[in-house]
Amino acid sequence: MSTSPETTTTDDAVAPVGTETAAAEPTTEATAPATDGAGSAEAAEKEAADDAGDRPVRSSRNRTEELVREGEVAADFLEGLLDIADLAGDLEVDIEGDRAAVAIVDSEDGPAPRRLVGPGGSVLDALQELTRLAVQAETGERSRLMLDVAGYRADRRSALVKTARRAIEEVKESGESRELEPMTAFERKVVHDEVLAAGLTSESEGVEPSRYVVIHPAS
**pLDDT tens across 187-216, in order?**
999 999 999 999 999 999 999 989 999 999
Whether omega before 113 lies within 30 degrees of 0, making that bond cis, reads: no
Query: What span, in angstroms and rounded, lies between the C-alpha atoms of 4 and 1?
Result: 10
Q: Which CATH architecture has domain 3-14+53-151?
A: 2-Layer Sandwich (3.30)
Sign, CA dihedral 194-197-202-203, equals positive
Contacts of 78 (CB under 8 A, 6+ apart): 91, 102, 104, 131, 147
pLDDT tens-digit profile of 146-162?
Answer: 999 999 999 999 999 99
- Bridge partners of residue 194, in order along the sequence: none
Helix pair 185-197, 152-174: axis angle to 10 deg: 50
CB within 8 Å of 82: residues ≥ 6 apart? 1, 88, 89, 104, 113
Instruction: Judge whether residue 86 has pLDDT over 80.
Output: yes
Q: Which amino acid is at 75?
A: A
pLDDT at 182: 95
The pTM is what?
0.66
Task: Give the residue extent of every domain in the chain.
Answer: 3-14+53-151
Q: What is the pLDDT of residue 97?
A: 84
Asked whether residue 34 carries a pLDDT value surpassing 60, the answer given is no
